Structure 1
Amino acid sequence: MRVFFAAPARLWEEWSPALRAACPEMELCREGDPASFDALIYAPGYPETGEPMDFRPFARARLVQSLWAGVERIVVNETLTQPLCRMVDPGLAQGMAEWCLGWAMRLHLGMDRYLQDGQWRNGLVPPLASERPVTILGMGELGRAVAAKLQGMGFPVTGWSASGRPVEDVRVLGAEALPRALEGAEILISLLPDTPETRNLLDARRLAMLPRGAFLLNPGRGTVLDDEALLAALDEGRLGHAVLDVFRTEPLPPGHPFWSHPDVTVTPHIAADTRPATAAPVAAENLRRAMAGQPLLHLVDRARGY
């Protein structure tokens, strides 16, 4: 099979060895007649001229395999008619679960309260994890991985998704129960995708539903959060702290108030990176499925946007 690598040039050296090792029967190319390719490996930022990708010349392609989990910048491309699959791989899920667990534990234990200034603060004893309810917004593969990690530490976890689809060993609430999901969350984790339904979902009204002093982690999508509403909730003491990994504009501009706010921690979109070693086998499996006419992994629903 011939596969076109439609990704920024800087990714070639990192990805091509892993992809070829995972799928040795593939001829991976960076140039050639578009009509000759059976599939594309794609990442936003291609072409590097800044123009939108034109998928129409790749009329023979049976698959566009994204290297990233987020596909909101791809599904809006009207020239894309080929099946599109997002990347969900074991390394990505593990990385997201570790990021969420690490920051949840740091906030839960109040690690930053123990300043090394000679003061003996032995009255600041945290509750047990079993006494700190967590709600996860978004119960896809990443949400399930995060839930399992947090439950392993003893946190009571509630999941929320628009569908309310059941998840084994997790209490999951559906669309109409969002207020209930928020009201019980001393730690709220948003793993929601960027869709018309999720944009500004966490606005002033919904942030006010959280228990006073609640913590917010957002490694999902920056558009889910109303930035001004979050800053107001923090300034008023209604929320305790926010750890944000994703933003409406990235990189986050140096002058953005998130950088200087004492109750905001910024991480630079590193919660769940796609690692070639674990992602390449997923891409290889989808390429083989596409060639054999079999069901594809993580096929994107264009209407839902993910």
Structure 2
Amino acid sequence: MTKATLALLIHGGTENWSPARWKARFDAVCADRAVHLLPDLALDPAKVGYAAVWKPQPGELAGFPNLQVIFNLGAGVDALIADPTLPKLPLVRVAVDDLTRRMTEYVVLHVLAHHRQERYLRDSQRDKNWAPKYQWPASAISVGIMGLGNLGADAAAALKHLGFRVSGWSRSAKQISGINCFHGGAGLEPFLRQTHILVCLLPLTAATRHILNRKLFAMLDRTGPLGAPVVINAGRGGLQNEAELLDCLNDGALGAATLDVFETEPLPPDSPFWSHPKVTLTPHNAADTDPDAISRYVADQIARHERGQPLHNVVDMTRGY
């Protein structure tokens, strides 16, 4: 029996999101089924059973009458959920060890950069200034992670191993060995009051949009050795109120920020974030997905589905993640 076609719909623009590169990986792991890169005018939409997508435009998935499952090739699904024409089918999010490890690398790198005063040291190098400052231990810094899914839990464990005091906050109660976990509305302020470096890995939902705002920043602990709180956002751009974030950097309510995501991407050339002296900016590559790992993940999920087994990591559309 002919197996259902897998359609790839990828809007990228960067090297890692080259559609041809992804097509080659899927051809290799799905050698027993047709794989088509959209748009493809020669493809019969009725033959498409699966879609693997990245940043599809609204309406692009509505024309496949026999579609069974949609696979999102990145971690965030907010753009897909916002599409009112999205077929009411299982939407599967990516959850692979490679992506988790990459995010943990990013979080640890930037927590350490703030902790070890990297910006000051690089400025000193530029100015040929041999003037080391006192360096406090990791145990003097409290790192708080918002979002305790696979990504947040792994990053928390790595930071704990390095000696930081680590806590976490999530919508529902979680238990992670060695991590002080808070949850829900009642737990948010106590969590923030003890946090020097705030790491945000939340999904973007109606409840979390612009959660990174002045009111929240004002609750962060200002008594730590950094002098003022630091924010690291590697979740979604819509989590941050960018006007209030900039104001807080300018007036000292925040000491620094590392930002991997923005409300408008690519970030416009005239954005003040590019040249802000307190901002470390990266181009949404904190956990850039590996085509090899993700294509194998999708192929395995399709095989499970065709054996009648349940899919893993299906998005709860009511929660948004």
Using the size of structure 1 for normalisation, the TM-score is 0.92
Aligned to 2:47: 36
2-structure distance, mates of 1:244, 1:105:
15
Residue 147 of structure 1: SS of its match in structure 2? helix
Matches within 5 A, 1:185-224: 185-212=195-222, 213-224=228-239
The one-character-per-residue Cα deviations of 1:95-129 (angstroms, maximum 9, x if unpaired) are: 1111111111010010221302344424x122111
Q: 1:298 deviation in Å? A: 1.4
Residue 242 of structure 1: SS of its match in structure 2? strand
Structure 1 segments unaligned to the other structure (5+ residues): 47-51
The one-character-per-residue Cα deviations of 1:43-68 (angstroms, maximum 9, x if unpaired) are: 2145xxxxx23434323222111111
RMSD (CA atoms): 1.8
Q: 1:290 deviation in Å? A: 1.9
Q: 1:285 deviation in Å? A: 1.4
Task: Look up the equivalent residue of 1:62 and give its one-letter code.
Answer: Q
Q: Which of 112, 115, 124 is the matching residue for 1:108?
A: 115
Residue 257 of structure 1: SS of its match in structure 2? coil
Aligned to 2:314: 299
Aligned to 1:249: 264
Identity %: 35
Q: 1:256 deviation in Å? A: 1.6
Matched, 1:268 2:259: no
Task: Look up the equivalent residue of 1:35 and give its one-letter code.
Answer: A
Deviates further, 285-294 or 180-189: 285-294
Structure 2 segments unaligned to the other structure (5+ residues): 223-227
2-structure distance, mates of 1:98, 1:302:
29
Aligned to 1:290: 305
RCO higher in 1 or 2 (8 Å CA, sep ≥ 6)?
Answer: 1
Using the size of structure 2 for normalisation, the TM-score is 0.88
The answer as to whether partners of 1:62 and 1:291 remain within 8 angstroms in 2 is: no
Aligned to 1:231: 246
Task: Look up the equivalent residue of 1:6 and give its one-letter code.
Answer: L
1-structure distance, mates of 2:118, 2:279:
15
Q: Which of 130, 136, 142 is the matching residue for 2:151?
A: 142
Task: Look up the equivalent residue of 1:23 and give its one-letter code.
Answer: C
Task: Look up the equivalent residue of 1:199 and give its one-letter code.
Answer: R
The one-character-per-residue Cα deviations of 1:174-219 (angstroms, maximum 9, x if unpaired) are: 0121111111111100001111100111221110011221111001
Task: Look up the equivalent residue of 1:200 and give its one-letter code.
Answer: H
Matches within 5 A, 1:13-162: 13-30=20-37, 31=40, 32-45=43-56, 52-79=58-85, 80-114=87-121, 115-116=124-125, 117-122=127-132, 124-162=133-171
Q: Which of 6, 26, 39 is the matching residue for 2:9?
A: 6
Deviates further, 99-108 or 58-67: 58-67
1-structure distance, mates of 2:89, 2:64:
9
Report how many residues are paired: 300
The answer as to whether partners of 1:90 and 1:279 remain within 8 angstroms in 2 is: no
